[in-house]
Chain A
Amino acid sequence: MQNHNHIRKKVRETAIVTDNLTKRFEDIVAVDELSIQVDKGELFGLLGPNGAGKTTTINILCGLLEPTKGSASVGGYDVQKEPQKVKELIGVCTQETAVYPFLTGRENVELFGSLHAMSKQRLKKNADDLLEKLGLTEDAKRRVGKYSGGMRRRINLIMALVNDPEIAFLDEPTVAMDPQSRHAVWDFIVGLKKQGKTIVLTTHYMEEAEELCDRVGIIDHGKLIALGSPEQLRKKFDAGNLEEVFIELTGRRIREGI
């Protein structure tokens, strides 16, 4: 009984587990036997060059794609067997700004809150709170079609988090943002982590990963090629920053034709 409790406690503490996760698209192996574990409350960075398999991995974890081989669980639920349960736990900030241009910012946020079956009161409170934190309160009544690129990205992020998810997947949330907006989003992500949220962040900005992430996994050609905290990786590869580590790893693979 004591052993059982130990296992259950362990399961609760682990937010995301992938085991030999593989995804093939015909001849292309997008994700290649990826095994990672993300702890509850951890901010985990998934790094890699374009086409490395980051978004495919997130799509599998969100239940959008079925793996070819291996397994994955999110919040203790198998993504293939219980995708509905997984979707109740997560919030997904997609790489593209997937917003309805004919709806106002608030209407977009409230639509996705309704899709998560939130009560009106809770939805309004969360929407107000998030819009204020990301500086969109004034513009919330305007149609998103009139927004600037940076504003669209911020509303995109709010739409992902309005349901107050336990686990958030943020796929390049700050891409194409100006430095001010990017730092505002960083502060926001740090705030989420302080609330105990589990966050999986993909990014091209090594500075962002270094600043925010507890641990990072670097993947290339679908394979996990490095895993650890930014500090551990810097030490291991004798690098001054994470960008040097990244170039060393991914560049070497290109040079060696792996």
Chain B
Amino acid sequence: MPRQQQNLADRSMTFGLRALNRFAGSPVVDRLGLREPAERFLYGASKTTMRTAASAGRTFAAAQRLASPARQPTAQPSGLFDLTPTDEQRMLTESVRDFAQQKLRPAALAADAACVSPPELLAQSDELGLTMIGVPEELGGAVTERSAVTAVLMSEALAQGDMGLAVACLAPAAVSTALSLWGDQDQQATYLPEFVGERIPAASLAVLEPRALFDPFKLETRARRSNGGYVLSGVKSLVPRAADGELFIVAAVLDGRGPALFIVEAAAGGISVEPEPAMGIRAAATGRVTFEDVPLPDGSLIGDVNSYAECIQLGRIGWSALAVGTGQAVLDYVIPYVKDRTAFGEPIANRQAVAFAVSNIAIELGGLRLATYRAASRADQGKSFAREAALARRLASEHGMSIGSDGVQLLGGHGYVKEHPVERWYRDLRAAGLMEGVLLV
């Protein structure tokens, strides 16, 4: 179709130029320049005391308001079984993959140690336009059609660089996607312009709560109606970029309705943040956020009764996509390693015990990838996808974990030390089976 062709060309201009301008500049200088940001993380890591969210600098004000909320249309596939991404998806994924390989991977070790992502890197990620992918074109978005598959492919490509940094980069995109999918025209007019502008706000989708057997459909965070608005109370766990957060979408039970999503500006008052570093995804600067009788204006509730379940399931697909990306990183790393490493006079790859472990990584990674794509593709087609999302999540949880473990095992003692990235992937991959929210594909 000619129209699509033109959009594709336009987009390659927008994307290609914005991206190239940034990261094709001078790789050598940039790589050497990594030391300075590393020092800066130390500042981030030292912020260990509980503090009030003070980054609440930004105020959000309604810009041009549409008569009705804008939504991205969905493309309908031909109905044939097909594993070929569209040209647009291929192009987007390639630029994200370059970014992940050239920028995220080299920064991952230091960011993991410091528990924060380098601001320069986040700015570059904003330049890439990740927050624009899920936004309708009339609101400044970058892609004509709503596509969870596109988001999955990009998440996968990012996580192939580094999962923790990928989470930090994608966190605001989850918020812009939520606003695009479920926001009314006022919510869209107030918040979305910031997500397609020059300086993307640090924002995150907070669902998890700190307790065993957490179930996102049995929340303890509550919102009650008060004075024409709401009052929010509760604790959210592992919220990415929490300390710098300017905007949150928070899952809470609304009396008389059940679990729902609320837009919460960091400036609302009554919000405190403490660092909550975890086993992995440390570059995402995860924090625990306490909401203490936070007053929310009318119009803070986002979405209808179905949105919450959809949000949870799309998030699970997102985590599976990250597991695919990091799983691929493991596979790509262990293959040359076991071919180079010799023991008893020959490469260890010549031993079945080693070689079969590599085969099994490939098999389970393949299954996980396809299951993740299927769930996302069904979401795009308007088909039910709860089952497929649950199955992809189970595969991510179980086999993702095993892939992480085998990655370390195949390197033996060398896998256990930070000289190699597999120990980080081991820690990161465990997240995919327990995280909820944060991402939205």
Partners in one complex: no
Chain A interface (Cβ < 8 Å from any Cβ of B): none
